Structure formats: structure tokens, C-alpha cells
Amino acid sequence: MKSPFISKIRECIRGKNYSIRTERTYVYWVLAYIRYHNKAHPKDMNETHIRAFLEHLAIYGNVSPNTQKTALNALVFMYRHVLQRELGDFSDFYRANGPKKLPTVLTIEEVTELFKHLRHYAFLCAALMYGSGLRVMETVRLRWQDIDFDKLSVQVREGKGRKSRITTLAEELIQPLRLHMEHVKTQYYIDKSDPSWDGVFLPNALERKYPAAPFELGWQYLFPAQNISTDPRSGKRRRHHIGEQAIQRAVKSAVRKAGIHKPASCHALRHTFATHLLERGADLRTIQEQLGHTDVRTTEIYTHVINRGGRAVISPFSNIAKATSKPW
């Protein structure tokens, strides 16, 4: 039996045009909160209950800081937008601690070897993550019209934090992308000839404002899924974008085949993009804009990456080597 309260949360999330991923995540944490408090209704609970739940996650659940933050966001959303109640101060809860890790960055040689083991759409997606600094979800959500060959740019629509930006496009990707887009266009015309096809998904009520847009080539996904599927929210038959898991698996496989012994992933390609730009003389503000960071302090972590070890610090052992003149 469906809970009317959970249905109301879903309704509210959809009314704000949040993604289905956000909907599932928020509902998950609201349900976890309710279960933790013996199925009490959230309207009967307060800041003390929220604090207890968040501390339980940190101390006994051993969750990461980001996971605890996501749970907090879900609860604040529920109280503010569903129960329409502003919460008081409960900022003194125990916060999850995680090791502060520097991002994994690949060398030019490692990136070169990695790309030797990528093919077709996986190669193009990885090339956009490394060449344009995109996140994996930003990559798979690209639309046909987001690629501008004349200006050598990529438009990212509503990336992390629902922020949009424009980033660079490598000139060397023009030809392979054009070839890929020809295949996408062919599939688009096949879909268009199918009377049961309901067009592509459009965000933020664009479909209501521009009813013809879902059927236009420019709005189709740059990396469409292999098959048409039924939208779980609307019930419409659409061709969604490829899943990010497919790209993640392809990159992980390429890392192994390339003999790279680092915890490299799709996100490592984005980190490598930023680090290599910095090494080539780009300023932090430019890199911040390319990555879509709100605060430049987030971008500053890459200065630590290029300054650690290597030639950044001269080892004191060098003094001994010079003094003794031993053939080490």
C-alpha cells in the first residue's frame, strides 16, 4: 500500500523539476528517518529527532560526510517544502568525518594508454570528461545542440547544483563527434517515423512551453540509449540517454587493460583535465569556470596535486649525495 505522505513528497519533488535520481535519493532518506524513529510521522518530530538521526548515521552507520549531507538535504526539503515548516537551529550535530584525499590524477602517458582501450561512445564520453572537464552525468545528459563546433565549446545544462556553464571542446574531437552524430541522426529519423514515440524528455516544463521541442533533433540526447523505454513518471515511450554505469564500467576496464595501478575512474579524468590545465599555465579562475565550481577554494585543491612530491620539493638526500659523490 502506497503511503500518501511519500506520494506527496514525490509530487513536490516533481513539481520542482528535480531529477528522478534526486527523487529516489530523497525518498530513501526520508523513509530511513521514519524507520529510525519507529515509524513516527515527521510532522510529530523536531530538530532533536533530526540531530539524533544524523548522528546515528555518522557514529554507527559510518557514512561519509557527503552521504550525511545528502540525508540532511532530504530532511530539510521534506520539512520546508512538504510540511511547510522552517526548522530551528540543529547545527551542533556530530558530523561524519572522512579522510581528506587528494584527487587521483593520471599522467599524460597513462591517459594516452587508457584511450587505446576505449571504443565508440565510451571513447567519446571519456574524451569529453578529460578534454572538457565534464562529470560523467553531465556527459551522458548532453543534447545534440550542446556541441558548438564553430566556437569549440560544450554547453552543460544544469550540472551539479543545477548550474549551467560553457566549457572547451578539443578541436581533435570534431571529426569523431560529427561521425557519431550522423548515427544519432539516423536513429532519430527512425524514432520519428514511429507513431508511438513520444519524443525526448525535456526538463523544467519546457515540454509544456514548447510542445514541438521533444520531437526536434536539437533536443535529442547526444548519447542515446540503445532501446526506447517507458518513462517511469509519465508513462511515455522515450529514448533516454545511455546509463552512466556503462561508461564507468568501460573506463574501469580500460584502466585495468592499460596497466594503471591507481584508483582511476571517470571522475579521475575530470581531475586530470583540471590538473593538466594548471600545469600548462591556466589560471585558477579559468579552471574554476571550466569545472563549474562555485567557490575557487574547491579548485585550489589542484594546486596541492601538482605541488606534492616529484620536483616540487628537493629531497635532503640530495645534499648527502653531492657531499659524498657516491655513485648511487
Report the catalytic residues: 135, 160, 267, 270, 293, 302
**Residue ranges in 43-200 assigned as alpha helix (H):** 47-59, 65-77, 108-115, 120-132, 136-140, 174-192
Helix, strand, coil tally for the chain in percent (to 5): 55, 5, 40
Kindly state the cell numbers that stand for 125: 564520453
**Nearest to residue 226, comparing CAs of 211, 251, 206, 246?**
246
Answer yes or no: are the C-beta atoms of 82 and 15 closer than 8 Å. Answer: no
Residue with grid cell 509519465, as numbered in its chain? 234
Q: CA triplet 63, 69, 70: central angle to 5 degrees?
A: 90
114 CB-near residues (< 8 Å, 6+ apart): 106, 126, 251, 254, 255, 258, 260, 264
